[in-house]
Amino acid sequence: MCTVTYIPVGDKILLTSNRDEKGVRKKALAPIVHTVEQMKILSPLDAEAGGTWIGASEVGTVMVLLNGGFIKHEPAAAYRKSRGLIFLDILSQEDVLSAYKKINLLGIEPFTLIILEKGQLFECRWSGEEKYIREVDPGQPHIWSSVTLYTQEIIQKREHWFTEWLHQHPQPSSEDVLSFHLFGGNDDRENGIRMNRNNEMLTVSVTNIIGDKTSANMFYKDIIHQEQSQLSVSFVQQQPVS
């Protein structure tokens, strides 16, 4: 939920997310294919609220969530619904971008969605008051860091790590990307790609999606419990990836 990379490699895309959470949060459930609003979705599940932060739907849409919109915010005492459940409300629709535009987000904590739909890549931010949509180039690599955990200075530093790593791995494999998400910027324990702040806030898992025109394969690594799993979902209609 807090560090996301997107990398196109040939006819595939690699979308990878580090979930940074409080150490006391319940263990998430490993990825499953479940049905939401008659849509099959491949995703891990949050054990507390039942939502998720990354997933692929059977119509070929891939989506990932980061906490926060544009700036670090002060959390309210309570929100109407969890962001992870809002995520599923949106991903369960055939036209995800349209669903994001239409959904009522008042009373929902700020977040950022990265959406890959029908070959187009979108960065969608909810500030807590307004929605913003920016189309980004699906043919180029990108990295996002949560504004709730990282200052703009640190975000730029992480972008530099990513750029340097890409120079060394111009055609990375999923294993290369996982290594970056586990060890990138490792000299900086508090702000590295895999972070740990006194075991109070830390990277608890890494999820990697390899997508092409016919399916999405999800690899999930639970760092805390040293468990991993892999699962795929086939698309009911072929989707362009770039």
Average pLDDT over every residue of 131-157: 97
Q: pLDDT tens digits for 10-24?
A: 999 999 999 999 988
SS3 13: strand
Q: Is residue 240 very low, low, confident or very high in pLDDT (cuts 50, 70, 90)?
A: very low
What is d(CA 39, CA 96) in angstroms, rounded to the nearest whole number?
12
Residue 31, exposed/middle/buried by CB under 10 A (0-12, 13-18, 19+)?
buried
What is the domain partition of the chain in residue ranges? 3-234
Q: Is the pLDDT of residue 217 over 50?
A: yes
Q: Is residue 25 very low, low, confident or very high in pLDDT (cuts 50, 70, 90)?
A: confident
Q: pLDDT tens digits for 79-113?
A: 999 999 999 999 999 999 999 999 999 999 999 99
Q: pLDDT tens digits for 153-210?
A: 999 999 999 999 999 999 999 999 999 999 998 789 999 999 999 999 999 999 999 9
Strand ranges in 153-238 using DSSP code E only, listed in sequence order:
196-197, 201-211, 215-222, 227-234
Length of the chain in terms of residues written: 242
Name the residue with tokens 């999800």. 218
- Residue of 219, 193, 205 whose CA lies nearest to 3: 193
Q: Is residue 237 very low, low, confident or very high in pLDDT (cuts 50, 70, 90)?
A: low
For the domain with range 3-234, which CATH number is right: 3.60.60.10, 2.60.40.10, 3.20.20.70, 3.40.140.10?
Answer: 3.60.60.10
Q: pLDDT tens digits for 43-91?
A: 999 998 899 999 999 999 999 999 999 988 888 888 999 999 999 999 9
